[in-house]
Amino acid sequence: MWQWLQPVIDSLFVGPLWPATVLLLLVISYLSLSLITSIDFDGPDMDLDANAWQSLGATTLRWLHLDTIPIIIWAGIFSSVNWLLAYILWNSFDSFRYEPTLMTSALLATRNGVIAGVITRFSTTPMLPYLAKGLAYDDESLVGQSAVVSSGEATPKFGQAKFDTGGAPLLLNIRTDGPHVIKGAKVQILAYEPKKRTYIVTPISTSENTVISSEN
């Protein structure tokens, strides 16, 4: 039996196929574990401390629907598409042109991941009305609501916060009205700046556990 399985296993862990196979196995393992233990996966907690990188990251997340589609559904679709793409391209094209070296495999895996990300983005678009409850919220309805700071801190120059929709949280670009607010603190949304696509917020509590400094 092992002699029959060995070629199959080798074919799944060669070139750019091995990272795709590992990712798919991890997602399948998590799904299996979550069915047994009912683990609640809330998604990665991104800490972006630089304004430019923060804006780029938030824009990328929104474009890929990672701010609205539950992360495990997105990851399941992405890992499946990524593996299928890697398998087809390697066995029908790449293996005849490239050696399965580490650098070549990394480059091909990156290419496959980018293509899979784009495919996943468009394949999840029809799900948005059913899974992305946050789409029912517009800029005006968020004013006066509260959110939780999700970046390392929030300042008058940069920051991010999560708004609870009862489903997938909305990821908001925020700026405070003066103080520097720590991660995890609750803030109230005061206004929306459409040109900058950011929300002006103020801390709900002004204790030392919430506000770490203020601009002079």
Return the pLDDT at 13.
Answer: 82
Higher pLDDT, 64 or 176: 176
Stretch 79-108: mean pLDDT:
93
Kindly state the DSSP code that residue 168 receives in the 8-state scheme: S
The HSE-up count of residue 13 (CA atoms within 13 Å, CB side) is 8
User: Which of 111, 131, 151 marks a domain boundary?
Assistant: 131
Q: What is the pLDDT of residues 204-216, one digit of tens each?
A: 876 655 666 554 4
State the total domains in the chain: 2
Higher pLDDT, 3 or 63: 63
Asked if 112 and 208 sit in the same domain, the reply is no
Between CA 25 and CA 31 the distance in angstroms is: 10
Using an 8 Å Cβ cutoff, are 192 and 204 in contact? Answer: no
Return the pLDDT at 205.
Answer: 73
Between CA 164 and CA 19 the distance in angstroms is: 34
Q: Is the pLDDT of residue 61 over 80?
A: no
- Provide the domain limits for residue 144: 134-214
Stretch 99-106: mean pLDDT:
92
Residue 19 banded pLDDT, cuts 50, 70, 90: very high
Q: Is the pLDDT of residue 6 over 90?
A: no
Residue 171 banded pLDDT, cuts 50, 70, 90: confident
Between CA 63 and CA 147 the distance in angstroms is: 22
Q: What is the pLDDT of residues 140-159, one digit of tens each?
A: 778 889 999 998 889 999 89
User: Which of 69, 103, 131 marks a domain boundary?
Assistant: 131
Mean of the per-residue pLDDT values for the chain? 79
Q: What percent of the chain clears pLDDT 70, i.e. is strictly above it? A: 72
Asked if 49 and 120 sit in the same domain, the reply is yes
Asked if 64 and 19 sit in the same domain, the reply is yes
Encode 25-64: b = buried (16+ Cβ within 10 Å), e = exposed. eebeeeeeeeeeeeeeeebeeeebeeeeebbebbeebeeb
Asked if 115 and 166 sit in the same domain, the reply is no
Asked if 123 and 196 sit in the same domain, the reply is no
Between CA 79 and CA 83 the distance in angstroms is: 6
Q: What is the pLDDT of residues 23-43, one digit of tens each?
A: 999 999 888 876 776 444 444
Stretch 159-181: mean pLDDT:
85
Between CA 42 and CA 162 the distance in angstroms is: 12
Q: What percent of the chain clears pLDDT 90, i.e. is strictly above it? A: 38
- Cα 183 to its chain centre, rounded Å, is 18
User: Which of 131, 163, 186 marks a domain boundary?
Assistant: 131
Return the pLDDT at 207.
Answer: 60
Stretch 122-127: mean pLDDT:
87
Return the pLDDT at 64.
Answer: 79
Other Cβ atoms less than 10 A from the Cβ of 208: the count is 8
